[in-house]
Amino acid sequence: MTEPDAVVLGAGVIGLTSAVRMAEAGIAVECQTAEPSRSTTSRVAGALWAGSPLADEDGRLTRWARASLDVFLELAGTEASGVRVAHGVVASREPSGEPRQMFPGVPMRARTPPGGFASAYELDAPLIDMPRYLGYLQERLAHTGSAVVERRVGSLAELAGCAPVLVNCTGLGARELVPDSAIQAVRGQHVVVENPGLEDFFIEDRGAQEWACWFPHGERVVLGGVAQPGDEDRLPDLVVAAGIVERCAALEPRLAGARVLEQLVGLRPSRPSVRLQAEPLGGTLCVHNYGHGRSGVSLSWGCAEEVLRILGQAPALAAGPG
């Protein structure tokens, strides 16, 4: 590969999607990462497409989510992608209106709620098998001739001048690399079990730090979930795992005796708002694309398209890729 026009820093779902979108647009890209995709928080995700829970005063989060929805619906026709349109239920223990803000643009239908719940809605939405999907993105990127290089850096300043453009998709790493004190780690944990025959997903819609959810992916089911702000322990907590299984099995008895395959922990890069903007970094244009919290998968393609739009306005690439 010749010298890149752009370096993408980070190989989670945000970094890989940005790199794929840029490379397929004809920009020579190199993706640099401190750890392989299989070790990132993205690999831990469930991952059901949904809207972002962050405040969306200007509507950009909804726009990015719906742009991503369109891409995932197309990818559902590609078996290798690990994406399928799944049927499922969102239920709440509190009386509430239809949670359309969770799934913008997706039709929802009221249904009889499970025992102990006040309301429930069924819908069809993209469900992404993340280990397969991350591999699919890497293959798409490799097909363009772009490389993924494992390299650890101490700060963004180290990369100034490395290429005309740097796209910072480092997630939680941006806290030290930028540095950005607005980022907080929110610990998530999943229990992966052998699938006892489930096809549909389930999500308990609640604002608490613990809830029940499950996402079937072929022979395995990902169970959750928890959100633990400020906890950065990457080791599975057996007490938390037992609580996850107990909550899910109480709603779906077939999960009670399912064999545990693995336990996963990820640190979500939480921020009051997604940072997607450009700023100069020495002689390099740095485009920040991080702080997606639990919505990285859901916003990934819309944010990648926004990165490409920003680069289209940048003098560094005005003459075209080269």
Domain boundaries, the chain: 1-86+126-183+271-322
pTM as predicted: 0.94
Query: According to CATH, what is the number of the domain 1-86+126-183+271-322?
Result: 3.40.50.720
pLDDT for 147: 87
List per-residue pLDDT tens for the chain, 322 residues long. Answer: 578 999 999 999 999 999 999 999 999 999 999 988 888 999 999 999 999 988 888 999 999 999 999 999 999 989 899 999 999 999 998 887 667 678 998 999 999 999 999 999 999 999 999 999 999 999 999 999 998 999 999 999 988 888 999 999 999 999 999 999 999 999 999 999 999 999 999 999 876 799 999 999 999 999 999 999 999 999 999 999 999 999 999 999 999 999 999 999 999 999 999 999 999 998 899 999 999 999 999 999 999 999 999 998 765 443 333 2
Per-residue pLDDT, 96: 72
Helix/strand/coil (H/E/C) assignment for every residue in the chain: CCCCCEEEECCCHHHHHHHHHHHHCCCCEEEEECCCHHHCHHHHCCCECCCCCCCCCCCHHHHHHHHHHHHHHHHCCCHHHCEEEEEEEEEECCCCCCCHHHCCCCCEEECCCCCCCCEEEEEEEEEECHHHHHHHHHHHHHHCCCEEEECCCCCHHHHCCCCCEEEECCHHHHHHHCCCCCCEEEEEEEEEEECCCCCCEEEECCCCCEEEEEEEECCEEEEEEECEECCCCCCCCHHHHHHHHHHHHHHCHHHCCCCEEEEEEEEEEECCCCEEEEEEECCEEEEEEECCHHHHHHHHHHHHHHHHHHHHCCHHHCCCCC
Report pLDDT for 100: 61
Condensed to tens digits (0 to 9), the pLDDT of residues 73-82 reads 999 989 899 9
